[in-house]
Amino acid sequence: MSAWLLPDHIADVLPSEARHIEELRRALLDAARAHGYELVQPPLLEHLDSLLTGTGEALDLQTFKLVDQLSGRTLGLRADTTAQVARIDAHLLNRSGLTRLCYCGPVLHTRSERPLASREPLQFGAELYGHAGPEADLEVIELALACLRAAGMRRMVLDCGDVRIVDALLDGLQLPAALVQRLHAALAAKDVATLREAGAALPAATLRALLALTELHGDASVLEQAERVLPPSAALQRALADLRRLAQSVQQALATSLDGSHASGGARAPDSAATKAAIDIEIGFDLADLRGYAYYTGLRFSIFAAAHPGQVPQELVRGGRYDEVGAVFGRCRPAAGFSLDLKELVAVLPRPAPQKAICAPWGHDAALRRAIADLRAQGEVVLCALPGHEHEVEEFECDRALVPHDGAWVLQALPPSP
């Protein structure tokens, strides 16, 4: 095997794409900061028993494991950052009130989550700790949408569900954990045949309700349909009511933000009409989508997005409420958040045009060196042509050249590239 070959689903990121990823990283971190989220940087590896406790147990098969040569203990390379941030909130910050944290860094997976996906995602996420109300759910959704808008997404679909709905249907049945897991997996896949087989021993009304869930996906009318066809219970009604209020709140928040209104005076941004016309956001529901059921404790959502109207939206964001995430660290605080993979996000965005740059000759002339330094101080990219070489770059396109004129160095426009 050639020494330069990389493992399957692991790849180098080359110049133009790497710059695009870095620009997106900065844009998303700026969006999080604008919402009051503080940046943390957890380590890439930890003791395995810290990574794989509590909700982290679901990541066991996705986690690379190795032995620490200093202590002899088993370490794990993180497959997700959420549990690490919960540890920081519980043990290092230990705040009594709200805590808003964001992060961005690589995670490693033993196997790709979907065909052609990288095993080394660059995970960006945000977590809000300390508030159990729907306001926290709304805030993290608003931030997730703001991040996608900052990335250039113009068509988005917010898909919502709630794990409490299935919990309400199975409440009191004392089912084996393996059976519950199989039922959840069948619901998430909308696999009716497996669902009938796995639920054969369930009460007939419960099985009918689970089968009905596989059809309960679509617009807001799904919630009214669920109230009609599912066995009534207080827990079910609370979950459906919370979803309904959340959708209404998201719509109101989006209408305000896209209109460019401000609480202080309601002033309208000059380009708000164009912005509103360019951004299309739909809200839908899928009451059977239980991916990550062992992780979430209430609301779960996905955001599908496309960079232009003709593009099919792809799932880019997952998030929701996971109030048990800090329990293993001694602080069972309310928590809500989301994450996305910057590499996946870049893959669905148009490739950016090369950045405009200035070509300059190489030389020791003091006036030339001052001219180059002044241009770079102004934010310009200046490429110096080393003797005997031409520029071979993808990231930059020289549209001007620094040339001598009447004893000074001046900029001269270059003809566009063919």
Q: Residue 31: what pLDDT?
A: 96
pTM comes to: 0.88
What CA–CA distance (Å, rounded) separates 174 from 121? 38
**Could you give the CA distance from residue 43 to residue 40 in angstroms, rounded to a whole number?**
10
Residue with tokens 């309601």: 266
> How many Cα atoms occupy the beta-carbon half-sphere of 338 within 13 Å?
30
Q: Which residue has the tokens 């961005």?
A: 104
Q: For every one of its 418 residues, what pLDDT tens digit does the chain have, with 9 covering 90 and above?
A: 567 789 999 999 998 899 999 999 999 999 999 999 999 999 999 999 888 876 666 788 899 999 999 999 999 999 999 989 999 998 889 888 899 999 999 999 999 888 878 999 999 999 999 999 999 999 999 999 999 999 999 889 999 999 999 999 999 888 998 898 899 889 988 999 999 999 899 999 999 999 999 999 999 999 999 999 999 999 999 999 999 999 999 888 877 766 654 333 333 334 444 444 457 889 999 999 888 777 788 999 999 998 887 788 899 999 999 887 777 777 788 999 999 999 999 999 988 888 999 999 999 999 999 999 999 999 999 999 888 877 777 789 999 999 999 989 999 999 887 6
* Residue 61 identity (one-letter amino acid): L
378 annotated among ligand-binding-site residues: no
For the record, the structure tokens of 215 come out as 């059809």
Q: Is 129 annotated as a binding residue?
A: no
Residue 123 is labelled as binding a ligand = yes
Q: Is 256 annotated as a binding residue?
A: no
Burial 354-366 (b: 16+ CB within 10 A, else e): beebbbbbeeeee
pLDDT of residue 2: 67
Rounded to whole angstroms, the Cα distance separating 305 from 294 reads 26
Output the pLDDT for position 326: 74
Sequence-ordered list of residues with C-beta below 8 angstroms from that of 373, at least 6 positions apart, any chain: none
Domain ranges (residues) in the chain: 9-132+323-352, 154-258+278-310, 355-413
pLDDT of residue 115: 81
For residue 214, the model assigns a pLDDT of 93
Residue 127 in marked binding region: yes
Q: Residue 322, annotated ligand binder? A: no
The fold for domain 154-258+278-310 equals BirA Bifunctional Protein; domain 2 (3.30.930)
pLDDT attached to residue 54? 65
Residue 291, annotated as binding a ligand: yes
Whether the domain at 9-132+323-352 and the domain at 154-258+278-310 fall into the same CATH topology: yes
d(CA 265, CA 254): 18
CA separation for the pair 112, 273 (Å, rounded): 41
Q: How far apart are CA 70 and CA 68, in angstroms?
A: 5
Under CATH, to which class is 9-132+323-352 assigned? alpha beta
Tokens 């180098």 sit on residue: 12
In this prediction, residue 275 carries a pLDDT of 47
Give burial (CB, 10 Å; 0-12/13-18/19+) of 378: exposed
- Placement of tokens 């001052």 in the chain: 370
Q: Is 271 annotated as a binding residue?
A: no
User: How many Cα neighbours within 13 Å face the side chain of 62?
Assistant: 20
Contact 306, 155 (CB under 8 A): yes
